[in-house]
Amino acid sequence: MQLIDSHAHLTSKALSAQVDGVMRRAHDAGVSHVITIGCDASDAEACVRLANSRSDVYCSIGVHPHEAGKVADGDMDRLARLTDDASVVAIGELGLDYHYDFSDRASQMKVLDLQLSWAAKLDYPLVVHCREAYDDTEAALVEHGFEDRPVVFHCFTGTEDEARRIASNGWRISFTGIVTFKNSTELQAIARAYPDEHLMLETDSPYLSPTPVRHVRPNEPAHVAHTAQFLAKLRGVSIEELAALTSANTRAFFGLP
Ligand SMILES: [Zn+2]
């Protein structure tokens, strides 16, 4: 069995000091590769360094909406300098978060706009973070010409209607451990019917440990196996089938070798 964790934060404080152990446990759980996600310019540089030091890690670079208020002059240039690195497979995570509003909305929108103008000229898939901000996120993506380009709404927790709108723009969603939580009934209904050819999995570790390790902190890529197990059962397929399907989809979406 081979799984890929398509979204983790290996450079986060909770995981960065124990990456060797985290990746060993990932391999033991059947996880062959992890895509580690940068959240600001410094983090993106750390992700690229890490991904270059290991054959089992790729990375995505961008500014998370939570960090939008702290973007300094030159940060976009620092990101742009990383673009051609062979370990970079996507741009993001970028987007809007109106649930936490850790950065004010004007900064979030400005930094999203800057990144989309930059990313539109590049040939990379986009990793989007969108929380309670679907209309504005969709409008920004469409304005920058991302209709029918490879875009994934990571850690999707929206409504069936939003999932439909995402699909109609040619975009995708991916599922974290949230889908395994008992009260995630709407999300489970979406995941049950989600098309085979688009299904992708992620941990978003160190956050969001899935059931039955929900109490374990930090979450780590090995735990994507629990989400895979849950989804296999939900969709009535074997874990091997689900693993093969999601790995192939993730490889194709991110253009992994
Ligand atoms: Zn994330």
Euclidean distance between CA atoms 41 and 192, whole angstroms? 37
User: Which pLDDT tens digit goes with each residue over 131-146?
Assistant: 999 999 999 999 999 9
- The residue written with tokens 């995981």 in the block is 15
User: Which pLDDT tens digit goes with each residue over 168-227?
Assistant: 999 999 999 999 999 999 999 999 999 999 999 999 999 999 999 999 999 999 999 999
User: Which pLDDT tens digit goes with each residue over 19-48?
Assistant: 999 999 999 999 999 999 999 999 999 999
Burial bucket for residue 244 (CB in 10 Å: 0-12, 13-18, 19+): middle
Q: Looking at the predicted structure, is the pLDDT value of residue 15 above 90? A: yes
Phi/psi at 132 (5° precision)? 50, 35
Q: Looking at the predicted structure, is the pLDDT value of residue 90 above 90? A: yes
CA–CA distances in Å: residue 162 to residues 179, 180, 243, 249: 16, 20, 26, 21
Distance in Å, CA 154 to ligand 1 centroid: 8
Euclidean distance between CA atoms 131 and 61, whole angstroms? 19
User: What are the residues whose beta carbons fall under 8 Å from the beta carbon of 132, sequence distance 6 or more?
Assistant: 97, 98, 99
Neighbours of ion ligand 1 (CB under 5 A): 204
Q: How confident is the model at residue 229 (pLDDT cuts 50, 70, 90)?
A: very high
Q: What percent of the chain has pLDDT over 90?
A: 98
Residue 28 gets the label, from left (phi > 0), alpha (psi -120 to 50) or beta, of alpha
Distance in Å, CA 130 to ligand 1 centroid: 11
Average pLDDT for 152-175: 96
Q: What average pLDDT does the chain have?
A: 97
Distance in Å, CA 128 to ligand 1 centroid: 9
Distance in Å, CA 204 to ligand 1 centroid: 5
Q: Looking at the predicted structure, is the pLDDT value of residue 257 above 90? A: no
In contact, 201 and 248? CB cutoff 8 Å = no
Phi/psi at 192 (5° precision)? -65, -40
Distance in Å, CA 9 to ligand 1 centroid: 6
Q: Looking at the predicted structure, is the pLDDT value of residue 122 above 90? A: yes
User: What are the residues whose beta carbons fall under 8 Å from the beta carbon of 42, sequence distance 6 or more?
Assistant: none
Distance in Å, CA 205 to ligand 1 centroid: 7
Euclidean distance between CA atoms 150 and 130, whole angstroms? 16
Point out the least confidently predicted range of 66-70, 87-91, 200-204: 66-70
CA–CA distances in Å: residue 9 to residues 29, 50, 86: 18, 11, 19
Q: Domain 3-254 is in which class?
A: alpha beta
**In 176-198, which positions are buried (b, 16+ CB within 10 angstroms) versus exposed (e)?**
bbbbbbeebeebbebbeebeeeb
Distance in Å, CA 206 to ligand 1 centroid: 9
Distance in Å, CA 129 to ligand 1 centroid: 7
**What residue segments make up the domains of the chain, in order of their start?**
3-254
Distance in Å, CA 7 to ligand 1 centroid: 6
Euclidean distance between CA atoms 175 and 155, whole angstroms? 5
For the entire predicted model, the pTM comes to 0.96
